[in-house]
Structure 1
Amino acid sequence: MTAIMTGLFAALLAISVPVGYALIIAAGAAILWQGGTPTVLAVVKLFQPTQSFPLLAIPFFILSGSLMMSGTLGQKLVQFAAALVGRFHGGMGQVTVVGSTIFGGVSGSAVAEASALGSMLIPWQKKEGYPAGFAAAVTASSSTIAGLIPPSIPLILFSTVANSSIASLFSAAVLPGLMLAGGMMIVCYLSGRIRNFPRLTDAGQLKSFGRSMLSALPALAMPFFIILLLRAGIATPTEVSVIAVFYALLVSLLLYRDLTWERIYAALVGTVITTGVVMLVIAASSLVGHVLITERVPTIVANWALETLGSAILIILMMNLIMLVVGMFLDLPAAILLLGPTFVAIGHAIGMDPIQLGVMICINLSIGLFTPPIGTTLFIGAVIARVPIGAVVKELWPFYIVAAAVLVLMSYVPALTIY
């Protein structure tokens, strides 16, 4: 069954069938070919995971991010980032990285962040004299920080696969997210100094910085607010996501006073579309998981890895290499749901903490978002900047080095994630 499903899935992807539909068709065909599984049971397996209570957090976090990012707050965040780092070498690139880190604490989605932030900052960088390829590269790479900073949608998905604490995953991912941001800011600084990129000379004035930080404070506080509620046991992840929506509505209505019915409608429509795509992949991955579990694929792969490779160091290296390849072709949620069950079994076999494994998987697959041939944020950045993909990839190599360094640290130094 597994061989049939894998071959058919690859063939469907090759002819550009959407991932969710390709998974359902491939898994359904494998089940029908093998027989033995009633059709009713297959349908139940398809819809069962979408009824999970923790998954309700996904649409609410998406909605809160849409409400906050689409209004005045988004402009305030960019102004704060400019006041904070704009006066340094490569300041415009650093503004993008800082903005991505803060926006990640609001949206939880790298794709949403690349679209929203890129549409503001890439034209601005080009206008200031930055190469279009560099502007797109910074946006494509730094937007993936949203996969780590709470409320990260990928971490929520992994928690459902591994049955792990969302609060623990959120807490563990903050440090690697900040490390990625710091490394990318260093790349922007060195590039700006070597290539003599322009700087925002008046962006570092103390008075301007103080005003912009105060204006952006509601968004700056959001990830800490989320972690505090979760770690203190005050609310469940789903309850926190609902609170985040009310928080976004109150901030827009009372503080910035820019809430309109048009914004609410646009945010709701965007949330429904995004949630529909994610839920389709979740439903499809459940059917795929049924095929894999029926044939004991996770257990067989885990045993093979232990017997063949032996060393935990080599097994972790193998998992990372597989994810790097898969991440180039599959979007992050689909890859997590497909690889998660097998890698959780392997991680358990070598004594790897599931929290560390979840952070490692999210970092690794996030790299695929700005890696050709099918990097989502890479394409978004290139389209907004109006440059060929090749021009962006040439500017990305130092960002790949930073992401790879953080990935290695998170893979082999457990203390950085389970502190």
Structure 2
Amino acid sequence: MTLIALPVFILLLLLSLPIGYTLLIASGAGLLFSGSYPLSIAAQRFFDSTQSTLLLAIPFFILAGELLIAGTLGQRIIHFASLLVGRVRGALGQVSVVTSMLFAGVSGSAVADASALGSVLIPWQKREGYPGPFAAAVNSASSVIGVIIPPSIPLIIYSSVSQVSVGALFLAGVVPGLMFGLASIAAVYLIARRGNFPKQETRFDLRLIAREFVTSLPALLMPVLILGAIIGGIATPTEVSVIAVFYALIVRLCYRDLSWRSVIGSIFSAGRATGAVMLLIMASSILGWMLTVDQLPARLSAFIEAQGLADVWVIAFMNVLMLIVGAVIDMTPAILLLAPVLLPLADAIDMSLVQLGIMMVLNLAIGLFTPPVGTTLYISSSIAGVRIEETARALVPFYIFALIVLIVVSYAPALIIGA
């Protein structure tokens, strides 16, 4: 089945068919022409993949992020970030990175951050004389921090496949996420210094920073609330996601910017995002089942073990595979396809499955701003009104720093996630 489905899948990708339909058609072709199983298996696997209470956390976390970002709190966070790094070289680029780090604990979605923040920060940078490709590059790279720092939708999806604790994955994602943000700050600084980009002529006012910190605190407390409740055993991830929605509503009420129109708009926006994610989960499950039935993961693991490769080379192979897949397939289906393949390989070299999850999300996050399919790359370039190639060239320093973070997580996990 896999030998039929994979070529069809690759062909349809090359024809630029949407990934959800590509997965469905490729899986159907594999079942139909193999003749080993009835097509009803596809329908069964399609709906069975949704029968997990853990996946209920996805729409609620997305809705909580939508509610918080839609209010004035988003503007306050941007202002707070501006006060923190406004006097650093390449100030507005630094504001973009720091704002993404602060928003990462709210949305859990790179696409949401890229579009919501990019629509504000990219035009602001261009008005101040920053090159369009640079503004697009900063936004597309920094927005992926949202899928590393909890709450992370991709980590929830990985947990549903690997049966690894969501709490352990969320906790493990904090330091790599912060490292990714600091690496992006370093990249912006080097580019800005080389290009002699301006600083903001603002006076460092500790009292004003403290005041803005207090006003932004409700959003900054979101990841603390989530991690504390899950790790402390107070609530399950699904229950915490519902609590997060009520928390967001209470925060909006406190800021007196909540209206029925904004709530309904956030619900519709979260519904569209959830629909897209769930379609990919359901479509990927069929192809994932076919890979398992054909024993591809086990065969790959046995083949790698038979080569007698040192662990360092096995980890390098895993990273290269994930980087390639992440560059051509969106994050959700990539996790659902790669996890069953790489889990046996990780077990074979005694790698922590928590470490594998963080490595996978980091690799695929890099894919989000890598041509030819990088989602945040396309969103940011569109907002900036520049060509993809121009943004990709401006992204070179970000690729370098991102790979450094990936190497640290891959080969020194005890320093980062205690794995």
With the length of structure 1 as denominator, give the TM-score of the two structures: 0.98
Mapped to 1, the partners of 2:79 and 2:385 lie a distance apart of 24
Distance 1:85 1:158, change over 3 A: same
Mapped to 2, the partners of 1:192 and 1:290 lie a distance apart of 48
**1:325 match:** 324
Question: Do the aligned partners of 2:154 and 2:332 also contact (CA within 8 Å) in 1?
Answer: yes
**Per-residue displacement from partner, 1:307-338 (whole Å, max 9, x unpaired)?**
12521111111111111111111111111111
Mapped to 1, the partners of 2:191 and 2:293 lie a distance apart of 52
C-alpha displacement of 1:245? 0.3
Mapped to 2, the partners of 1:42 and 1:130 lie a distance apart of 50
Mapped to 2, the partners of 1:242 and 1:307 lie a distance apart of 47
Instruction: Output the amino acid matched with 2:243.
Output: I
Mapped to 2, the partners of 1:188 and 1:17 lie a distance apart of 35
Question: Do the aligned partners of 2:281 and 2:336 also contact (CA within 8 Å) in 1?
Answer: yes
**1:379 match:** 378
**Per-residue displacement from partner, 1:355-399 (whole Å, max 9, x unpaired)?**
000000000011011111111101111111111112211211111
C-alpha displacement of 1:40? 3.3
Distance 1:175 1:203, change over 3 A: farther
Question: Do the aligned partners of 2:31 and 2:38 also contact (CA within 8 Å) in 1?
Answer: no
**2:396 match:** 397
Distance 1:333 1:203, change over 3 A: farther
**1:204 match:** 204
Give percent identity, aligned residues only.
49
Aligned counterparts, 1:315-394, within 5 A = 315-394=314-393
Is 1:295–2:294 an aligned residue pair? Answer: yes
Is 1:173–2:173 an aligned residue pair? Answer: yes
Is 1:57–2:57 an aligned residue pair? Answer: yes
Aligned counterparts, 1:126-165, within 5 A = 126-165=126-165
C-alpha displacement of 1:342? 0.6
SS at 1:410's partner residue?
Answer: helix
Question: Do the aligned partners of 2:311 and 2:349 also contact (CA within 8 Å) in 1?
Answer: yes
Is 1:310–2:309 an aligned residue pair? Answer: yes
SS at 2:276's partner residue?
Answer: helix
Mapped to 2, the partners of 1:204 and 1:279 lie a distance apart of 46
Mapped to 2, the partners of 1:214 and 1:3 lie a distance apart of 57
After the TM superposition, which of the residue ranges 126-135 and 109-118 deviates more from structure 2? Answer: 126-135
After the TM superposition, which of the residue ranges 184-193 and 209-218 deviates more from structure 2? Answer: 184-193
Question: Do the aligned partners of 2:28 and 2:39 also contact (CA within 8 Å) in 1?
Answer: no
Q: Which runs of 4+ in 1 moved over 6 A?
A: none
**1:93 match:** 93
Mapped to 2, the partners of 1:329 and 1:92 lie a distance apart of 30
Question: Do the aligned partners of 1:155 and 1:362 also contact (CA within 8 Å) in 2?
Answer: yes
C-alpha displacement of 1:409? 0.7
C-alpha displacement of 1:203? 5.5
**1:250 match:** 250
Mapped to 2, the partners of 1:124 and 1:374 lie a distance apart of 26
C-alpha displacement of 1:413? 1.2
Mapped to 1, the partners of 2:77 and 2:191 lie a distance apart of 24
RMSD between superposed Cα atoms in Å: 1.2
Instruction: Output the amino acid matched with 1:238.
Output: T
Is 1:187–2:187 an aligned residue pair? Answer: yes
C-alpha displacement of 1:91? 1.5
**Per-residue displacement from partner, 1:146-201 (whole Å, max 9, x unpaired)?**
11110001101111111100000000010000001111111222222332212222
After the TM superposition, which of the residue ranges 233-242 and 128-137 deviates more from structure 2? Answer: 128-137
Mapped to 1, the partners of 2:50 and 2:2 lie a distance apart of 23
**Per-residue displacement from partner, 1:53-85 (whole Å, max 9, x unpaired)?**
000000000000001001101100000100111
SS at 2:16's partner residue?
Answer: coil
Distance 1:66 1:127, change over 3 A: same
SS at 2:17's partner residue?
Answer: coil
Question: Do the aligned partners of 1:101 and 1:181 also contact (CA within 8 Å) in 2?
Answer: yes
Question: Do the aligned partners of 1:58 and 1:275 also contact (CA within 8 Å) in 2?
Answer: yes
**2:405 match:** 406
Structure 2, unaligned runs of 5 or more: none
Mapped to 2, the partners of 1:82 and 1:311 lie a distance apart of 47
**1:15 match:** 15
**1:213 match:** 213
Mapped to 1, the partners of 2:116 and 2:255 lie a distance apart of 19
Question: Do the aligned partners of 2:60 and 2:242 also contact (CA within 8 Å) in 1?
Answer: yes
Question: Do the aligned partners of 2:137 and 2:380 also contact (CA within 8 Å) in 1?
Answer: yes
**Per-residue displacement from partner, 1:67-108 (whole Å, max 9, x unpaired)?**
100110110000010011111111111111110011111000
Mapped to 1, the partners of 2:318 and 2:290 lie a distance apart of 21
Question: Do the aligned partners of 2:154 and 2:331 also contact (CA within 8 Å) in 1?
Answer: yes
**1:36 match:** 36
Question: Do the aligned partners of 1:85 and 1:203 also contact (CA within 8 Å) in 2?
Answer: no
After the TM superposition, which of the residue ranges 127-136 and 226-235 deviates more from structure 2? Answer: 127-136
Distance 1:203 1:241, change over 3 A: farther
**1:117 match:** 117
**2:260 match:** 261
Total equivalences in the alignment: 418
Instruction: Output the amino acid matched with 1:382.
Output: S
